[in-house]
Each structure stands twice: as C-alpha cells, then as structure tokens.
C-alpha cells in the first residue's frame, strides 16, 4: 500500500468508521464499472458516507489532497459515468437511502440520493400518489443516480424526464461546501437545478432531492399492437401523435428484441415471426379513455396491424410491462454480450433511421435489436456480439457510434436518458462544435475547477481527441465485458 493510500484509508476510517471503507483489491473489483461493462478501471478506494455532513467531510479531505473522486448510486448507469479510469475514490451513496418527508397537500417528497426509484411509488401508493419517472431499472436504480443522468423512462412521453420532477437539491460542492438549490416556490434567477440535473456527478454530489409526486390517474388502458413490418409500426406511432392523442407511453420492440424477451424470464406469449410490437398506454380521467384506445387502434389498422390485444386487468398489464422493462437483460438469452445505445430522433424519421440501423447491422455482421421509447423518438439499439471473438468488442463500439451518427444525421442527439459518461464523450462532436464544447467546459470549471469531481467524463479533451476509448481499454483501465 502506498503512503498516499495508507493516509487515505486512515482518514476515511476516522471519518466514517472501518465498515464504511473498502480498499483491498478483492473488494474493489465490484466497483470497476457500472452497467456498461465494456470499460473498467480500479478505484483507489470506496467509501460509504451516511449523511450529508459525512459526504462534505470526505470531499473536503480529498479536495485538500487533490485526489479525484466519483459519486456513485446503484451502479445501473449505462454510459460509464461511475466507472473509474483508475485511482479515483468512489463515494457510494447507497447508505443514504431514506425517505425524509412527504407533503401530500403540496405534492412533494424529499428523499436521500440512495433511495430506490420504485420504492418512492411503493411508499406513497396507499395515499393514491406515485412518482412518474420510470426508467426500466426503476426497481434497482436510485433517485440520486436518476438526477445525475436525467433519467427518463417509458412514460416520459406524457410526464417528462427527471428534470421535470426535481423541485430542489441539496448539493456538496467540489470543495465540500453544502448548498441548497431550488425549492418551493421556485426562486428567480438562473436555473441551477437544470444545470445540475444531468451533469453526471461532474458539478456536485447530490445529498437530498425534493421531487414532485402525482396523483394516480383515475383510469388506465394498455394495449399491444402486433405488426408484420417495423415500417408500418413506425408510421403508426407518428400518426397516433399527429392525431392529437397524448399517450402515457408508446414503446416498440423489433423482431430480434421480441425473440430475446420471449426466451428470457418474463415471456408473455408474443406470436412468433412478428417484425414489431407496440406497447401503448393511455391514462387519465375515466371518461374518454376507451375512446383514446379505440382511436389508436383505428390508426394501427390503417397501417396494417396484424392483431391488437387490450390488457384485461392490472396483472396482465404488469406482465406486459415486465416483459418490456427487462428487455435489455433479456438479450443475454440470445447473445453472449450486448452494448446498448441511446440515440434520439424526430418521430417522423423513425422508419428511415431503423432502416439505416438495419444496414449498419448487415454491413458489420452484428445483430442489432431495437427496444425503445417510440413515442418520443428515444432509440435503444442493442448491439449483440461475442467478446470472446477477437476484435468483436471494438467492432461493437464502432457500430454503436454509427448508430448514433444515424440519429444525428437526421437532426437527433446522442443520448436521451443514459448520459454521456466515458462511452460517448468523443461522440459529443457529432452534435457540438469545438467552441460549444469549450463553453460547456467553462461552465463545468465554475463548479469543478480542478476537475477532481468525476474527472474527464461527458466532454472530450482537445489534447486527447479520439484517445479516450483506447486509453480506457489499454492503459488507464482494462477492457472487459460481461459474458452471459
């Protein structure tokens, strides 16, 4: 153990207790990566503060000793945002997992960052309330992590992403100072909540979150629409929105994705040979809900829908959503490994971009499954590959960039909810000029002047253009993937 590490372990143990510090290699392996397992790096140590004051004390010491650090939630992120390059201290917030306060009259709740997303809805549903953002990992991901990535979910089409539900934040800054942002009522001035939400731990460590909670809708209907053509399904999505219907969600899975979910742990009996399935949901006041479903069915019929199924009860609805929300992991049933992307496109270009992704798949020889939030154009191409084959991991990464280029070529973006992290930092040049990147880095430098807080994430560095993926794979961290 180096003198620096010994001093670190001694001080962290003094501040937090022996059971709140991990420093042995065997213990640190778990923290080499987040949900994106293609890139890995060994942290210097992992610490587990339990209060805002403990987070502040830890950050003050690390800042004084110029040791970089990374805040981490449940580790479900999919862009390498919580992955070390090597030598950082990970500040895990999983012990800060309390529901601090609920105000039903004003429809807000205060949670610590380690509080699980779905746990909030489960804790308030008996009062007829719920928390709207619902990423597929909601049973495991933390609300603090959702704030860091500005997570979305199936129902963000109607209800918006995390930033639309954050009312206030308590934040530990780069030097350990504790500040409070936002609150109710919203104060005039710059939207600092908006800047912090989605900043991927590069501008501060969130230690308390005030969120908006909503009343459960009076009524809800869910339907499946089966198609023999992904193109027909795509046009149906656009025409549903064009008809003035605002569904709570419209999700789509293509043929390969359907094969995966039906072979995994939550099959629902989708017919074999389908090219696409839409999962459509409407909610709100009971009067008119059936009319909305009927109108959506009519639109689908105009686009050659093969079959429509309407959920008969909450149990069937729950099975359908479990089938969709476990789709990423279900790819392990049909492929040794996969890489998920997160592009955004205008809805009207959906058919065109899916066709381009099919071309990329054919050119590369790698299968690509498509599972995505069709209603708001947030695509999730799942690139299936075998890391045991030489060069195939690098090929999958190249294919991932090409799918993002297909999105930006039609005026889209490189991320809708998974963040940039390590994986897409070089791809930021697909949507921003060097001047635009420099101006965003200038904002980061105000909050994180020494680049100690989740260093070198989100944005490319001009001096290292195109080098980061190579560096993570061969120097600063070693490359690996999960084999299913």
Report the pLDDT averaged over residues 183-192: 86
Whole-number pLDDT of residue 477? 37
Whole-number pLDDT of residue 465? 40
Whether residue 327 is predicted with pLDDT greater than 80 in this model: the reply is: yes
Whole-number pLDDT of residue 344? 97
Does the structural domain 335-431 have CATH classification 3.30.70.2740? yes
Q: How many CA atoms lie within 13 A of 260 on its CB side?
A: 30
Give the chain's mean pLDDT.
94
Q: Could you state, in order of their start, the residue ranges of all structural domains in the chain?
A: 3-92, 99-215, 218-333, 335-431, 434-482
Whether residue 186 is predicted with pLDDT greater than 90 in this model: the reply is: no
Whole-number pLDDT of residue 184? 78
Dihedral angle of Cα 199, 202, 204, 207, to the nearest 10 degrees: 70
CATH code for the domain defined by 218-333? 3.30.70.2190
Whole-number pLDDT of residue 187? 80
- Composition of the chain by helix, strand, coil, percent to 5: 40, 20, 40
- Residue 442's contacts (CB-CB under 8 Å, 6 or more residues apart) are none
Whole-number pLDDT of residue 471? 41
Instruction: Spell out where 158-268 has E strands.
Output: 166-172, 178-182, 205-212, 214-215, 219-227, 249-254
Q: 410 with 344: CB under 8 angstroms?
A: no
The DSSP symbol for 478 reads B
Percent of the chain scoring above 70 in pLDDT: 95
User: What would the pLDDT profile of 393-430 be if each residue is shown by its tens digit?
Assistant: 999 999 999 999 999 999 999 999 999 999 999 999 99
The DSSP symbol for 186 reads P
Helix axes 230-242, 350-364, angle to 10 degrees: 160
Percent of the chain scoring above 90 in pLDDT: 93
Report the pLDDT averaged over residues 279-284: 97
Whole-number pLDDT of residue 430? 97
User: What would the pLDDT profile of 222-272 be if each residue is shown by its tens digit?
Assistant: 999 999 999 999 999 999 999 999 999 999 999 999 999 999 999 999 999
- Residue 64's contacts (CB-CB under 8 Å, 6 or more residues apart) are none
Whole-number pLDDT of residue 115? 98
CATH number assigned to the domain with residue range 3-92, chosen from the 4 options 3.30.70.270, 3.50.50.60, 3.30.43.10, 3.40.50.2300: 3.30.43.10
CATH number assigned to the domain with residue range 99-215, chosen from the 4 options 3.30.465.10, 3.30.720.120, 3.65.10.10, 3.30.2080.10: 3.30.465.10
| Fold match between domain 3-92 and domain 99-215 | no
Using 50, 70 and 90 to split pLDDT, how confident is the model at 343?
Answer: very high
Which residue from 476, 197, 206, 256 is spatially nearest to 381, judged by alpha carbons?
256
> Which CB contacts under 8 angstroms, 24+ apart, belong to 357-364?
357/381, 357/403, 357/406, 360/399, 360/402, 360/403, 360/406, 361/399, 364/395, 364/398, 364/399, 364/402
Whether residue 466 is predicted with pLDDT greater than 90 in this model: the reply is: no
């Amino acid at each position: 153990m180096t003198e620096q590490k010994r001093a670190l372990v001694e001080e962290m143990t003094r501040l937090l207790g022996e059971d709140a510090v991990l420093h042995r290699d065997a213990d640190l392996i778990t923290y080499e990566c987040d949900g994106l397992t293609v890139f890995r790096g060994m942290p210097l140590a992992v610490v587990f503060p339990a209060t805002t004051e403990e987070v502040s004390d830890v950050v003050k010491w690390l800042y004084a000793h110029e040791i970089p650090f990374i805040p981490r939630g449940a580790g479900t992120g999919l862009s390498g945002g919580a992955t070390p390059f090597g030598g950082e201290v990970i500040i895990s917030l999983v012990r800060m997992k309390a529901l601090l306060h609920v105000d039903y009259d004003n429809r807000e709740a205060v949670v610590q960052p380690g509080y699980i997303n779905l746990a909030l809805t489960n804790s308030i549903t008996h009062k007829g309330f719920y928390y709207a953002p619902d990423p597929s990992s909601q049973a495991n991901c933390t609300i603090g992590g959702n704030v860091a990535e500005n997570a979305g979910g199936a129902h963000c089409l109607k209800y918006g992403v995390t930033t639309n539900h954050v009312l206030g934040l308590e934040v530990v800054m780069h030097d350990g100072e504790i500040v409070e942002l936002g609150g109710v009522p919203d104060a005039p001035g710059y939207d600092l909540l908006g800047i912090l939400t989605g900043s991927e731990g590069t501008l501060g460590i969130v230690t308390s979150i005030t969120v908006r909670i909503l009343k459960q809708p009076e009524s809800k209907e869910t339907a499946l629409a089966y198609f023999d053509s992904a193109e027909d399904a795509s046009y149906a999505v656009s025409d549903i929105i064009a008809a003035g219907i605002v569904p709570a969600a419209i999700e789509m899975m293509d043929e390969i994705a359907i094969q995966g979910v039906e072979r995994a742990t939550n099959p629902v009996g989708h017919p074999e040979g389908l090219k696409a399935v839409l999962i459509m949901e409407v909610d709100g006041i009971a009067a008119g809900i059936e009319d909305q479903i009927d109108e959506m069915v009519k639109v689908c019929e105009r686009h050659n829908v093969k079959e429509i199924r309407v959920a008969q009860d909450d149990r069937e609805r729950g099975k359908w959503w479990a089938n969709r929300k476990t789709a990423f992991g279900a790819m392990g049933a049909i492929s040794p490994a996969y890489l998920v992307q997160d592009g955004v496109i205008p809805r009207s270009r959906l058919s065109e971009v899916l066709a381009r992704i099919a071309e990329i798949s054919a050119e590369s020889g790698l299968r690509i499954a498509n599972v995505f939030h069709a209603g708001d154009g947030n695509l999730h191409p799942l690139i299936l590959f075998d890391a045991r084959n030489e060069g195939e991991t690098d090929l999958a990464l190249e294919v991932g960039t090409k799918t993002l280029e297909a999105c930006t070529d039609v005026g889209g973006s490189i991320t809708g909810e998974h963040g940039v992290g390590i994986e897409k930092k070089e791809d930021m040049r697909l949507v921003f000029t060097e001047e635009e990147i420099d101006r965003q880095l200038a904002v980061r430098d105000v909050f994180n002047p020494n680049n100690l807080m989740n260093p070198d994430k989100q944005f490319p560095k001009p001096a290292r253009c195109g080098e980061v993926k190579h560096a993570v794979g061969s120097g600063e961290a070693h490359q690996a993937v999960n084999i299913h």
